Structure 1
Amino acid sequence: MKNLPTKADILSFIEDNPTKTNKRDIARAFGIKGAARIDLKRMLKELQDEGHLDKRRKTYREDGALPPVSVCRVTGVDADGDLFLEPVEPGDTPPRVLFIAKDGDPALAEGDRVLCRLTKVSGEDHAYEARLIRRIGTGPAKILGIYRKGAEGGRVTPIDKGDDKEWRVPPGAVSGALDGELVEAEQTGPKSRMGLPQARIVARLGDPAGPRAVSLIAIHQHGIPDEFPDDVIAEAENAKPVKLGKREDLRELPLITIDPSDARDHDDACYAHADDDPKNKGGHVVWVAIADVAHYVRPGSKLDREARKRGNSTYFPDRVVPMLPEALSGDLCSLHEGVERACVAVRMVLDANGNKLSHRFTRGLMKSPAALNYEEVQAGQDGDPNDKVAPLMESVIAPLFAAYDVLRLARHRRQPLELDLPERKIAMDEAGKVISVAFRERLDAHKLIEEFMVLANVCAAEELKARNTPLLYRVHEEPSPEKLDALREIVQASGLTLAKGQVLQTRHLNQLLAQAEGTDQAELINISALRSMTQAYYGPQNFGHFGLALKDYAHFTSPIRRYADLIVHRALISAHNWGDDGLVDDDLKQTGEHISMTERRSMVAERDTTDRYLAAFLADRVGTEMEGRVSGIAKFGLFVRLDGSGADGLIPIGTLGREYFAYDRDAQTLRGEKSGVVIGLGARVLVRLAEATPITGGLVLELLELDGKPLPQTGGQGRRGPTQGRKAGKYKAKSAKLKKKLKRKRG
């Protein structure tokens, strides 16, 4: 027939008219009538069979193309600040969809579902542009768990502690996951009161018993970005070393780095010498130099957006998720030994009593003569220097410790909070298996660096405050009255005292800690004091730092791993007119809230990972008796911190003897209804390890002795109290019937 179009004509029309794709629209466009419609139907069927078209109900579209109105999921913001979507409808390689916002559109978050009108584009790094019709809802629930294959699809068992609810995965939503594989899934459809909720697998994470799975679980569970976009990596790799230019030449100063032996980056260096000013007899000059990250991470750049998004680096026993790509964090921004590096430095003058007399900031170029670790520096100070430290003892190491000695005097007068909470160190072999768990030794070399960094941070806050330059302070507000009252109750129950009727200061808490030192209550009081503290955060308003007993404090010394420090560096650049890479952030409050959130996220992820590694370490010790101390009381049981490993395990309340235990929230105790036995924080216990689950990090313990004595056996029905006669049998039968019903339904 003459007026019958070619296949190319049909495909071109469908591409140009995505809203007119049914057979009637196509026929009308080409003037096809009568019997010719049979030929058109044949051609459309051939295009479909050839893979050029995809038939959806009564419409046709290019194979793999999206309908003009689609439901999409928000995937997040890229390094340029553009928001991207992906179709909810499953596909092997979902196209990239750029969201074009208009005035009045609601703010969208990752995971939100939206109904959009799509327009196909060419010549861009995305296939479609989307305009919002309406937001359908917030992001679906995310589940991290183990996939178990079934006859039809399978199930996902969550790895979160205390979450024993399974999720059903239909056959079309498995995404190729293998039985026993660690997966990330998301809820599909509304939750039902009956039966299992439904989910689809969105990512396969591999063997849950793999050597690097533990930290990978935490990364996915807490949504920590762990892969840098290609354009961010390219920007970092294009960076060049800094020349001296207008910078102050600090290359002759022996600024050394002192870090952990396994440190990959070095963002701070220090040097000290006796002050030669005759007016400051016994005084010291201390230099602290910090990597000039602001030179490389410019405001508004792809690197800057990615660094802000991450907020900080996250540290796991087997890996680091850095804030900056390796080209910067491990190279150009790291103060490596023997190479020239850009820095921002502060020169501080102290008197013989550790009081700061003055300070001066500068933007410089340095060259560190040595990269040392804490242990070898301490060994040198103790009289056993190695070959690397020995030549530096008289000129560098000894003056550092001399300056530290006077800073200790100032610290003693200031009385910052002196909590004794040792840090755990998890040692692993090459395969990723935990071989030992120990507490890190606190050396004077550690304290020396800490005091120098605190002083430099104070100088940064004071400098910017004096120059009326906006900045992010590190804020730690005093404890709330409610938390202090709870602390006082614990203190009184322990036979100790805490000052009342006056404004609480850190010296009062230190007096309390000193009372408890060396007693059975020491750990309890330290933990309770810590729990009474508010959480530190970043903000543009200065409310002081309670824990450090400082009026002005800002983070300046770690810009490689903390975005807050980068903000302070930029503020210093602006305040001193050092260049065009200064502070331009016009919403420091929002930035502070965001990076405070990322900091808490990292802390929780790091803690969860430690719990899982400890559970893996203890898994082959199930059945072993261990000693510990009660570290927490809850309605459902009590937590015990085990000696040696410092791991926390749960004793379920239902396993505590054969009587009802009443929970007193205010006193933080459990009291036996018949025996009168009181279990409180800090009590010494002997327990048996009943269960260790590495995938969740959970430890379940069985109480054997409380303060050296077994719990009295008083009879009764345990936690829920006595239930007598027929009633008990009735409830038991009803429970069994319900379990059978659920089992049939789930099967």
Structure 2
Amino acid sequence: MPRPTPGLPSRDQILQFITTSDTPAGKREIARHFGLQGQEKISLKALLKDMADEGLIDSERGRAFHQMGGIPKVTVLRVTDITDEGVALAVPESWHGEGAIPQLRVKEQRGRKGPPLGVGDRLLARTEEAGRGWIAHPLKKLARGEEMVLGILHREGDRLWLKPVDKKERRELLVSDAGDADAGDLVLAQKAGRPPRITAKVVERLGDPFAPRSFSLVAIHKFEIPDVFPDAVIEEAGIVPRLDLGEGREDLRHLPVVAIDPVDARDHDDAIWATPDDDPANTGGFRAIVAIADVAFYVRPGSALDREAKKRGNSVYFPDRVVPMLPEALSADICSLKQNEDRAAMVCHLTVRADGNVSGWRFTRALVRIAANIAYEDAQAAIDALTPSPPLGGEGRGEGAVLEAPSGTSSPLPPLPTLSPASGGEGFDFALTETALKPLWACWALLAKARDRREPLDLDLPERRVVLDEMGRILSVAPRERLDAHRLVEDYMIAANVAAAKALEAKKAPVMYRDHEPPSREKLVALKDYLATFDLEFALGQVVRPSTFNHILTKIGERDERPQIMEQVLRTQTQAYYAPANTGHFGLALGSYAHFTSPIRRYADLLVHRSLVGAYGLEAGKPHLRGGGRADGVAPTTALTGEEAERMPALGELISKAERRAMEAERETIDRYVAAYLSQHVGDVLDTRITGVQSFGFFATVEGFGGDGLVPVSTLGTEYFRYDEKTHALIGEESGDAYTIGQRLKLRLVEANPVNGSLRFELVEGASHLPMRRGGPGKDRRPTGRRGRPANIRHRGGKR
């Protein structure tokens, strides 16, 4: 790039320099490139701060600048497709946002000279939101880049073709260069050319797509999840475990603190303890401890570990592997609360009154020695052996949803396996039942009473668990069992999370809240219209609380319509997110809520820990290594820095998007495993439940296993079906029969594709099930005609 004339550059000029620079660009490099001197450098600093506040750029401790996640106002785009009308479609070259990468329509200037844009072209563009989409206005065409696609090779004659694994990619690509890959291989390829001559060049062979442990690899590549730690991060991860823990830590190693986790947990970042309170002012109450791994001590602001953790945002959990936020030297070792090992912890001390309310809290840095790592099943078995009792109920861990197993299936699928109790680390010491578990359960009984008075959102949501053998092969897909032990841990974690938020508020310190806003009026109106079809009233003028939805579900009891109404209530809720502005947590019915309990796997929790360190003077001493050696390069502070505090809004947005990316990757991977498992049952008639309805057909899931599959409307017979958006139903014009969300029916599985996780079903001729009756002309008739004959569709609203 030629050197510009001196003078303060514009925002666009700075962005162009940052995005085209071959090396990291900081204030010094920008000033040198634009020939700035004296007062101009001071003005540049102010301009860069404004650009960071506006979300145009991100800075790393004032040195290296790069573009923010999401869609900035000015950014680099890569052309991925050309429509039949010749319009270029592009995506951000760097994207860490929600779900799939957004696609922008490039609005090229009239009379523009030079060849039209093609797939793989890169451009610096100004972006704007238009209606439901985005438009890009090119500023400058950049050096050509690569458009990558993940797919499977197959041969037709003497040619190889690439079939993308993404269900949204409908076009197969002719392979121009396969390298050492062959038909059947999963590959990463580079797209080139313009329609109709777009080709693919294989750049990496990933192996057999149907081999064990391949399904998570597909998601890692598709969502561009960082899964390899840079050398600098690995090097630092080898040094920080040797940091001296310093003086002044509270010594809690004499307490029987226990960590209760899933049997297959790879890291242990929380442990709990409780005892009856001997304070006469708190008769019948308890003192409790929630000990959390002191990750902030090892991962310090501005360090290589910190930068990588911030980029990842969270750990991503797949059935066969974890892509951790932190290297294993920390996540699975020094920061993991392991049995009989001394560990640094950030501890929340809680005072629980007899009515279950938390009346006080304090935070300390401490040393703990975990008495046992106990599996949920073992903890529950130990308690049940003493005092069997009915479940107390509760909400999902940190999010307010009950995760109960769905009803069984009468399909020809094999029965769901019953897992034997877990071993619990090195073996569960049942002496801990008296000293640790019984007091924990007694204190939890009080917390549960307070939670029941609060009435958080209580939805039954199935959670699937893929069980693999030691070779990574699928043994089963089963719902996770929901135990009181799960609810107990959740309620302790929620209490600590609330305490962290309120403790920081008391000091007027920065808080990264976990916000969950009430449903929008638009969604409430849609729910009202939907409930009216079942003769259920829903007043829009009332103050909507979580209990409002709980009462709806209580009112319908165990009616057949319960599953579909519950699905619609769930769709009414908003997506939780991270932000420094408090809007409360609607689902948990809490006014202040933050995530404090999982800093190994969530960057948001790490920020909350740092803020607590600064607010309550919990800073450790100057860093030095145990056993000698220098701690050069280790940041002296473990508290939240001023720069981090200023950037909390941008950080909240980035980690919220990283969380949604992880959720989508995990969900898609589970779908692939489910499809692989069900591929053995193609042709079988299965018990299913409808999970979604569109004008082109409906989606159904296999009861007890999950995985959504399509039933095309063209296979429903010769009757006209219309899509009713209010009731989310396909309704027969003549019979009045309807297919709607939540409805159970038997379907034949005709296709299960493990590569993209898709299923396809069809109705069963002569099956005893009937569609639901919704009234209308000819309501005594049922759909007839030859299955598979296309039907004419009328739809009201929605998309085809």
- TM-score, length-normalised on structure 2? 0.72
Contact 1:380 1:389 in 2 (8 A): no
Within-5 A mapping of 1:313-352: 313-352=315-354
Q: Offset of 1:225 from its aligned partner?
A: 0.8
1:158 correspondence with 2:164: yes
Change in CA separation of 1:100 and 1:443 when aligned onto 2, cut-off 3 Å: closer
> What residue is the counterpart of 1:283 in the other structure?
285
Among all aligned residue pairs of Structure 1 and Structure 2, give the percentage whose two residues are the same amino acid.
46
Partner amino acid, structure 2, of 1:229: P
Cα distance in 1 for partners of 2:22, 2:271 equals 38
Partner amino acid, structure 2, of 1:154: L
> What residue is the counterpart of 2:208 in the other structure?
207
Within-5 A mapping of 1:169-180: 169-171=175-177, 174-180=178-184
1:396 correspondence with 2:436: yes
Within-5 A mapping of 1:111-260: 135-136=141-142, 141-148=147-154, 154-171=160-177, 174-189=178-193, 191-192=194-195, 195-241=196-242, 242-243=244-245, 245-260=247-262
Contact 1:73 1:113 in 2 (8 A): no
> What residue is the counterpart of 1:648 in the other structure?
708
1:536 correspondence with 2:576: yes
1:691 correspondence with 2:756: no
Q: Offset of 1:426 from its aligned partner?
A: 1.2
Cα distance in 2 for partners of 1:611, 1:603 equals 12
Cα distance in 2 for partners of 1:411, 1:699 equals 40
Within-5 A mapping of 1:98-109: 108=76
Q: Offset of 1:674 from its aligned partner?
A: 2.9
More deviation in 274-283 or 387-396? 387-396
Within-5 A mapping of 1:455-470: 455-470=495-510
Aligned residue for 2:336, secondary structure, equals coil
> What residue is the counterpart of 2:376 in the other structure?
374
> What residue is the counterpart of 1:583 in the other structure?
640
More deviation in 644-653 or 404-413? 644-653
Per chain length, whose mean CA-contact separation is higher, i.e. which structure has more relative contact order (CA < 8 Å, sep 6+)?
Answer: 2
User: 1 or 2, which has the higher helix percentage?
Assistant: 1
Partner amino acid, structure 2, of 1:708: H
Contact 2:25 2:65 in 1 (8 A): no
1:522 correspondence with 2:562: yes
Cα distance in 2 for partners of 1:591, 1:201 equals 36
Aligned residue for 2:791, secondary structure, equals helix
1:559 correspondence with 2:599: yes
Greater Cα radius of gyration, structure 1 or 2: 1
Q: Offset of 1:168 from its aligned partner?
A: 2.2
Q: Offset of 1:366 from its aligned partner?
A: 1.0
1:712 correspondence with 2:783: yes
Change in CA separation of 1:307 and 1:501 when aligned onto 2, cut-off 3 Å: same
Cα distance in 2 for partners of 1:293, 1:145 equals 38
Deviations 1:177-232 (A, max 9, x none): 3222111223323x42xx35223333221111111111100111111111111211
Paired positions, count: 615
Cα distance in 2 for partners of 1:713, 1:232 equals 64
Cα distance in 2 for partners of 1:618, 1:602 equals 24
1:620 correspondence with 2:689: no
Q: Offset of 1:461 from its aligned partner?
A: 0.4
Q: Offset of 1:492 from its aligned partner?
A: 2.5
> What residue is the counterpart of 2:550 in the other structure?
510
Work out which of the residue numbers 468, 487, 500 in structure 1 matches 2:540.
500
Contact 1:683 1:706 in 2 (8 A): no
Contact 2:478 2:705 in 1 (8 A): yes
Contact 2:732 2:783 in 1 (8 A): no
1:363 correspondence with 2:365: yes
Cα distance in 2 for partners of 1:80, 1:391 equals 59
Cα distance in 2 for partners of 1:77, 1:496 equals 62
Change in CA separation of 1:624 and 1:77 when aligned onto 2, cut-off 3 Å: farther
Change in CA separation of 1:168 and 1:625 when aligned onto 2, cut-off 3 Å: same
Deviations 1:53-91 (A, max 9, x none): xxxxxxxxxxxxxxxxxxx998999999999xxxxxxxx
Change in CA separation of 1:153 and 1:303 when aligned onto 2, cut-off 3 Å: farther
Deviations 1:110-163 (A, max 9, x none): 4697799xxxxxxxxxxxxxxxx9652896543211123577873211112253
Aligned residue for 1:238, secondary structure, equals helix
> What residue is the counterpart of 2:468 in the other structure?
428
Contact 1:80 1:305 in 2 (8 A): no
1:639 correspondence with 2:711: no
Cα distance in 2 for partners of 1:553, 1:231 equals 35
Aligned residue for 1:345, secondary structure, equals strand
Q: Offset of 1:100 from its aligned partner?
A: 9.7
Deviations 1:575-630 (A, max 9, x none): 11222211121311111111101100010011101111111111011111112221
Change in CA separation of 1:376 and 1:499 when aligned onto 2, cut-off 3 Å: farther
Contact 1:476 1:545 in 2 (8 A): yes
Q: Offset of 1:406 from its aligned partner?
A: 0.4
Work out which of the residue numbers 512, 523, 544 in structure 2 matches 1:472.
512
1:668 correspondence with 2:756: no
Aligned residue for 1:382, secondary structure, equals helix
Q: Offset of 1:709 from its aligned partner?
A: 2.8
The unaligned stretches of length 5 or more in structure 2 are: 1-17, 30-62, 68-72, 77-91, 95-119, 125-138, 387-420, 620-636, 772-781, 795-800
Contact 1:675 1:714 in 2 (8 A): no
Aligned residue for 2:349, secondary structure, equals strand
Cα distance in 1 for partners of 2:317, 2:750 equals 30
Change in CA separation of 1:517 and 1:115 when aligned onto 2, cut-off 3 Å: closer
Cα distance in 2 for partners of 1:695, 1:102 equals 35
Contact 1:377 1:389 in 2 (8 A): no
Change in CA separation of 1:232 and 1:219 when aligned onto 2, cut-off 3 Å: same
Q: Offset of 1:436 from its aligned partner?
A: 1.2
Contact 1:473 1:539 in 2 (8 A): yes
Partner amino acid, structure 2, of 1:712: P
Change in CA separation of 1:668 and 1:107 when aligned onto 2, cut-off 3 Å: closer
The unaligned stretches of length 5 or more in structure 1 are: 1-71, 84-98, 117-132, 723-747
Deviations 1:440-460 (A, max 9, x none): 111111000000000000000
Question: Aligned Cα RMSD in Å?
Answer: 3.1
Change in CA separation of 1:555 and 1:707 when aligned onto 2, cut-off 3 Å: farther
Change in CA separation of 1:315 and 1:102 when aligned onto 2, cut-off 3 Å: closer
Change in CA separation of 1:559 and 1:549 when aligned onto 2, cut-off 3 Å: same
Change in CA separation of 1:373 and 1:715 when aligned onto 2, cut-off 3 Å: closer
Partner amino acid, structure 1, of 2:225: I
Cα distance in 2 for partners of 1:139, 1:665 equals 42
Contact 2:695 2:793 in 1 (8 A): no
> What residue is the counterpart of 1:600 in the other structure?
660
Contact 2:190 2:200 in 1 (8 A): yes
Q: Offset of 1:686 from its aligned partner?
A: 1.3
Q: Offset of 1:322 from its aligned partner?
A: 0.5
Aligned residue for 1:363, secondary structure, equals strand
Deviations 1:318-374 (A, max 9, x none): 111100000000001011111111110011101111011110111111111111111
Within-5 A mapping of 1:719-738: 719-720=791-792
Q: Offset of 1:432 from its aligned partner?
A: 2.1
Aligned residue for 2:240, secondary structure, equals coil
Work out which of the residue numbers 303, 306, 310 in structure 2 matches 1:304.
306
